[in-house]
Structure 1
Amino acid sequence: MTSARLAVDIGGTFTDFALDIGGRTFSRKVLTTAAEPEKGVLAGIGVILADATLEPADLGLIIHGTTLATNAIIERKGARTALLVTRGFRDSIEMAYEHRFEQYDIFMDKPAPLVPRKLRLAVPERIDASGRIIEPLDEQTLAGLVPVLRAERVTSVALGYLHSYVNPAHELRSRDILRELAPDIAVTMSSEVCPEMREYERWSTACANAYVQPVMDRYLKLLEDTLAGRGFSCPIYLITSAGGLTTVEIARRFPIRLVESGPAGGAILASHIAQQRGHDHIVSFDMGGTTAKICLIDDGQPHFSRSFEVAREYRFLKGSGIPIRVPVIEMVEIGAGGGSIAAVDNLARIQVGPASAGSEPGPACYGRGGRDCTVTDANLLLGRLQPDRFAGGKMRLDPEAASAAAVRSIGEALNLDVTGAALGVSEVVEENMANAARVHAVERGRVLSNRVMIAFGGAAPIHAARLAEKLDIATVIVPAGAGVGSAFGFLLAPIAYEVVRTRFGRLDATLDVAALNALRTGMRSEAEAVVRLGAPTAELTEGWTANMRYRGQGHEVTVRIPPGEMDASSAAELERLFVADYEQQFGRCIPNLDTEVLSWSLRLATVGDPIVPCPATPAQHLVEPAAHVEVVDPGSGRFEAVALYNRGDLAPGATIAGPALIVEDETTTMVTRRFSARIDALGSIVLTRT
């Protein structure tokens, strides 16, 4: 076994591979095999090992990220799931927040729960908010529900009892009874997957975990067994939505923590690059085949959240999806990728996404039966993609199929020629991404113009310069291996685990610091037990946050607080930190209001290798292009001759004036007229506004 480490990232269109052998790297992309994703994974592993002349036994570690859990929820292809809930509360999961996320649309439909009403079964039991048992668990009634589960062909059960986050005794006993009477049915406890107050979010998270758990359990077991059968003896880790590594065992129990695993890898890569170069304020831009992700990074670290929504159905509007409360790197994700489908709506407007052509059939230019015009088709028609250079020449694109799709989807409806239709698609998708970035920044009290953009993913470098122009960003970094950036981010991820507990307290003299110190110690022990499964002797670092609010408010601000023991001065320090964060996000504080804490979170992670600063860039030197190609200028809408460079031919210090194209196997970087490009000491393309 060598030091070789392999990262695998399953996306909606491509599955990405990144291999590191003591600093020597290899990368590959293969089309995702949606029906049987393990086939694409195994095929890609075979190809990249052949590139590096390695055998299966030579690998020391495999890190895996996947969209399977997300896709199962979006496509409603999870397990047949039941929810056992406290009597009288079976409809809470459907009542949700009891408000309309789009109040002016009389035809608005709320997202259907993952568990239909007939499979939400009431159980007599009751625990109050302090953890006191008011009504004992009716074990006879619970046992009587097992034949109902059998008759309904249920394969997974979520347990959602009121206030179980304080006292999980009834959920624990229910789990034991179900395991005894129906050992083949998977059981998820809401008190284990999301031990926090607010039953709707807790039960929604438990239902989502139960819904995808059999799917992910089968997939991970099949992948493990198949790899072992082919001679792979190295450990396998999964990347979580919070950017940490976890064991296959934990991933099989809590697959909901993997929902945003791919985008998390990209945020880790951007954070690493920011620290290498000493940039304090970053916006990462990750655009793949299906979605675009935008993440703000400050002081070398992304922002973390405890909640997000998956499967938004109503124009990606907040509230139209399924709420999930698990640790996650905070970012905005929209349906804008290379495979996003373009069409004309009833108001004669070009709309791009959220639907995607994926890998099957894929964009029209792939020649796999796709007929819809996509962003990739538009980029090909604009000259930004070269038909004989896509994927290193291994996959020739079909301009005629792309042209026919653009005319059929856009041109005929708007009386546009092929170039006008393609340019319209490109401009719309870029403005969609720019608007998403603006809203994301404003909601968090941040600005974008003082940030450096880091662009990666198969499609991001094509659009990064134009997006930077729209956002008034002066510098864009396209790292080496940008086309599989998230996979390279996996290789930088620590082994980590996060624990959260609800514990109410006011920031005054009544704050029980002794109880909080005991709580923190217990949370650390729980997290360490998980982390040590993969890192028995590694040095660990601790992150400690609190969800705080002004008394009377309905939502909280997550505040980073110093780890370690609390004392009599802690209440004042916590309030100071809260006020600073509150002012940052909302522009003001509220005087004369008490502050309170609802929950506490502890993240334990292994300490990585020290980050080596990027060396100074060598002296500038001009390089000759490999060719000249015709590319549409977005300003004039006309074709013009543009220099084309092969990225592999560019040494550090090479300087290129825009407009130009820089081509590599997994992506293409477009340097617009307003930017110049320079290769830095680490091989990254640094675009600077001129």
Structure 2
Amino acid sequence: MKRVSVDIGGTFTDCFVAWGDRHVQAKALTTHQNLALGFNSALEHAGQELGIDVGHLLAEVDSVRYATTLGTNALIERKGPRVGLLVTAGFKSTVPCSRGRGYGVGLSQERQQDIPSAQRPEPLVPIPLIREVRERIDYDGRVFLHLDEDDVRAKIRELVDAGAQAIVVAFTNSVVNNEHELRVREIFNEEYPGHLLGAIPCLLSHLVAGRKGEYARTTSAIMDAFLHAVMYHGLGTLELNLRNTGYTRPMLVNHNSGGMAQLNSTDALQTVHSGPVSGIAASDNLALYSELGNVVATDMGGTSFDIGIVTQGGVKHYDFNPVIDRWQVSIPMVELVTLGAGGGSIASYDRMFETVQIGPESAGSDPGPASYDKGGMQPTVTDADLLLGYLDPDNYADGFITLNPKRARMAIEEDLCDDLDMEVVDVCKLIKRTVDANMANGISTELRTRGYEPREFTMLAYGGNGPLHACGIADVLGVDRVLAPPFSAVFSACGAGSMNQMHIHEMSTWTVLFDANQSRFFGDFDSFNSAVEELEGRGREDLIRQGFDESDVQHRLELDMRYGNQRVQTAVVTDLRRLESRKDVLKLIEQFHTRYGERFGQGSQSPEAGVRINTIRVCSFVEQTAVQFDGVKLNGHAPTVIDPVEQRMVHFVGIDSPVQTPVYDESALEPGTHIPGPAIVTTRATTYLVEPGWSYSAARHGAVWFVRDNA
């Protein structure tokens, strides 16, 4: 296997190269003005380690895969085109009004409760750019009012004259009958051919999201249109850069669904959070091949802290109505919780509670933390870690960044010391204690709300700052063992290289498997099977278009099911491809019964209310060769003890005086190495902090276990 995979984050661009039996990691600062520059820099570092020039490297690899936060950053900065919206007459206020508590979507629980100060987010489509069109299709797909084509032409002209740079068409019930939306696109192309408007896109909501739910479907299409230009130009620049350096194959882009596809088969909305989702895919792969059981994946990078869950057997947790920024959308996405707790998260004074607050704002990569000495003036978590003695200022990020302790001290003194009435070191300890507690609380909340106990999971700590804060998080969480996986500093990039090429298609349905009122089981197998066949056909076409043989395409059937009219839906993955008899119906009901009990507790099932399918979803994929890191468990052999390369005075939370702490280099990654805490292991890619009461044990492939002394 020869493969390049890249995770472009808010602070660093991570690169992972699989070159036969060799695996190389590299980092560079993200260059937001031109992502290709950061990628080229990281790839050059990897090539130097392999002893290969970039042109030769790209000519030999089988694929280049990207995961990026470009879409996330565009939403945060509100950098996008003016989007015009066409809706069914009478539904003009659907998007502006959102839902009853729509103002609170995407906010913390505390801010949602602050109703007097509630403010809706700045709209992606302002009200003056919304137009109503005379047409109507009922819930069953029957045309109630035919499309008024003259009205459509007039409304399109109005939006273009008003400066719309992208057009979204979102008609009521278009997911059960899409003929009106398709006709509007034809009219748009008739009125404004490509040579007149250039690259102005016309997006149809039923193609972006296939489920019922007008508001979430419309916001999905709006967000896709808003991100279309920045993703097109950003990723297009990356593809042109590859062409200029000798790479001739299609560029692959990771999706937040846990799969990937070629750039020309990727919607902009699918790229949001694709970087952290790649880390969850890598965690899934590692847990499967190393038999780790249940895993909670935690990625602490420069900008954020991301949490994902992988249960034993590789069943991913999906969020089928995720919140992106401040809007609910309707796409299947691997469930992810993001906290503003990265190394670049800004520490500020919380006047209400008279303590320090971490994030959610981040210093990013430019100017970055104050210690980067690039003009950043606000204190960050990285600045605190430096002053506590955890980081080597001359050997940070493989030596490409020299940290300035004086700048870090100045930022903390000016912004925090006077307000808190504390010395610099005590403020730094408070920053570390706070950020560790925030991350631990986030993990605990995510697990316990799903009925899991943290001790039932192996915690993975990765990202550039994961191994640095692993012990502190585990102390608060009450976990005795933490695994820093192989290539932990670029683990999400590693995961980007192990995803399957995949597309997900879904369809809303009203399929009653068991009617409790009439005590009758479902029997219209042909309609159900034809729907599944149609979705499989769409996925098959997607993958054949990208060059795969039909025989390579596999399908997985997933169903959103509920008891009666409950609002709560449960996703069921079934090995049934078709329903052919009542026996199949009973088997499907039993699978739902079991899955519901696992999620909400045995005895909570309510079959007497009836059983219904709301969504049919087909995942079509082609399996790809994955990077495998098996055998990372501790082998129980006699540990190897090595000598430190230096001693350093280090400050730890809970200990008043500084502690003389041994510091080790890259040799500590040799399998079998055992180091009692306190200790620091500084490698080219990251720093491992072994806090008092913990020990460090190196496993295969560069994996490291942190184990509590009394475990």
Q: 2:400 & 2:685 partners in 1: Cα distance?
A: 11
Deviates more, 1:66-75 or 1:533-542: 533-542
* TM-score using structure 2 length: 0.92
* Residue of 146, 160, 174 corresponding to 2:170: 160
> Match of 1:248?
263
Q: 1:648 & 1:596 partners in 2: Cα distance?
A: 58
* Residue of 610, 628, 631 corresponding to 1:614: 631
Q: 2:563 & 2:656 partners in 1: Cα distance?
A: 53
Alignment of 1:498-577 (within 5 A): 498-508=504-514, 509-534=521-546, 536-537=548-549, 539-566=552-579, 567-577=581-591
Q: Give the superposition deviation at 1:58.
A: 2.9
> Match of 1:317?
none
Q: Give the superposition deviation at 1:443.
A: 2.3
**CA-to-aligned-CA distance 1:28-70 (integer Å, 9 cap, x gap):** 1111112222332233333433432132423331101111111
Q: 2:119 & 2:537 partners in 1: Cα distance?
A: 44
Q: Is the 8 A contact 2:668 2:681 kept in 1?
A: no
> Match of 1:140?
150
1:533 and 1:641, CA in 2 relative to 1: closer, same or farther beyond 3 A? farther
> Match of 2:491?
485
Letter in 1 for 2:699: D
Letter in 2 for 1:477: L
Q: Tell me the secondary structure at the aligned position of residue 296 of structure 1.
A: strand
Q: Give the superposition deviation at 1:673.
A: 1.9
> Match of 1:678?
697
> Match of 2:617?
601
Q: Give the superposition deviation at 1:449.
A: 1.2
Q: 2:68 & 2:539 partners in 1: Cα distance?
A: 23
Q: Give the superposition deviation at 1:103.
A: 4.3
> Match of 1:650?
669
Q: Give the superposition deviation at 1:95.
A: 1.5
Deviates more, 1:104-113 or 1:500-509: 104-113
Q: Is the 8 A contact 1:423 1:637 kept in 2?
A: no
Q: Is 1:387 paired with 2:389? A: no
**CA-to-aligned-CA distance 1:226-252 (integer Å, 9 cap, x gap):** 32123222331000001211011012x
> Match of 2:303?
290
Q: Is 1:223 paired with 2:234? A: no
Letter in 2 for 1:521: E
> Match of 1:275?
288
Q: Give the superposition deviation at 1:512.
A: 2.7
Letter in 2 for 1:43: S
* Residue of 468, 474, 477 corresponding to 1:468: 474
> Match of 1:27?
25
* Residue of 180, 183, 190 corresponding to 1:173: 183
Q: Give the superposition deviation at 1:609.
A: 4.2
> Match of 2:445?
439
Deviates more, 1:503-512 or 1:582-591: 582-591
> Match of 2:518?
none
> Match of 2:8?
10
Structure 1, unaligned runs of 5 or more: 312-320
Q: Tell me the secondary structure at the aligned position of residue 701 of structure 2.
A: coil
**CA-to-aligned-CA distance 1:550-591 (integer Å, 9 cap, x gap):** 222223122222242223123333333323333333335143
* TM-score using structure 1 length: 0.95
Q: Tell me the secondary structure at the aligned position of residue 34 of structure 1.
A: coil
1:388 and 1:120, CA in 2 relative to 1: closer, same or farther beyond 3 A? same
Q: Is the 8 A contact 1:579 1:589 kept in 2?
A: no
Q: Give the superposition deviation at 1:511.
A: 5.0
Letter in 1 for 2:120: K
> Match of 1:303?
317
Q: Give the superposition deviation at 1:540.
A: 4.2
Q: 1:149 & 1:268 partners in 2: Cα distance?
A: 42
Q: Tell me the secondary structure at the aligned position of residue 296 of structure 2.
A: strand
Q: Tell me the secondary structure at the aligned position of residue 449 of structure 1.
A: helix
Q: 1:577 & 1:382 partners in 2: Cα distance?
A: 52
Letter in 2 for 1:607: E
Q: Is the 8 A contact 1:446 1:585 kept in 2?
A: no
Q: 2:246 & 2:673 partners in 1: Cα distance?
A: 43
Q: Give the superposition deviation at 1:74.
A: 1.7
Q: Tell me the secondary structure at the aligned position of residue 409 of structure 1.
A: helix
Q: Tell me the secondary structure at the aligned position of residue 145 of structure 1.
A: helix
Q: Give the superposition deviation at 1:151.
A: 2.1
Letter in 1 for 2:609: L
* Residue of 680, 690, 693 corresponding to 1:661: 680
Q: Is the 8 A contact 1:352 1:425 kept in 2?
A: yes
Letter in 1 for 2:49: D
Letter in 1 for 2:25: S
Deviates more, 1:294-303 or 1:577-586: 577-586
> Match of 2:215?
200
Deviates more, 1:637-646 or 1:127-136: 637-646
Letter in 2 for 1:376: T
Q: Is the 8 A contact 2:91 2:132 kept in 1?
A: yes
Q: Give the superposition deviation at 1:535.
A: 5.5
Q: 2:653 & 2:203 partners in 1: Cα distance?
A: 52
Letter in 1 for 2:187: I
Q: 1:666 & 1:534 partners in 2: Cα distance?
A: 35
> Match of 1:65?
67
Q: Give the superposition deviation at 1:147.
A: 2.7
Q: Tell me the secondary structure at the aligned position of residue 152 of structure 2.
A: helix
Q: Give the superposition deviation at 1:491.
A: 0.9
* Residue of 412, 427, 430 corresponding to 2:433: 427
* Residue of 310, 324, 329 corresponding to 2:334: 329
Q: Is the 8 A contact 2:81 2:226 kept in 1?
A: yes
Structure 2, unaligned runs of 5 or more: 105-111, 515-520
1:135 and 1:404, CA in 2 relative to 1: closer, same or farther beyond 3 A? same
> Match of 2:107?
none
> Match of 1:625?
644
Q: 1:681 & 1:354 partners in 2: Cα distance?
A: 36
Q: Is the 8 A contact 2:561 2:572 kept in 1?
A: yes
Q: Give the superposition deviation at 1:644.
A: 1.3
Q: Number of matched residues?
A: 677
Q: Give the superposition deviation at 1:104.
A: 4.4
1:259 and 1:620, CA in 2 relative to 1: closer, same or farther beyond 3 A? same
Q: 1:608 & 1:220 partners in 2: Cα distance?
A: 22
RMSD value over aligned CA atoms?
Answer: 1.8
Letter in 1 for 2:595: D
Q: Give the superposition deviation at 1:607.
A: 2.5
Q: Give the superposition deviation at 1:328.
A: 1.2
Q: Is the 8 A contact 1:443 1:585 kept in 2?
A: no
Q: Is the 8 A contact 2:597 2:605 kept in 1?
A: no
Letter in 2 for 1:117: I
1:57 and 1:104, CA in 2 relative to 1: closer, same or farther beyond 3 A? closer
* Residue of 278, 298, 314 corresponding to 1:265: 278
Q: Is the 8 A contact 1:193 1:205 kept in 2?
A: yes
Q: Give the superposition deviation at 1:406.
A: 1.2
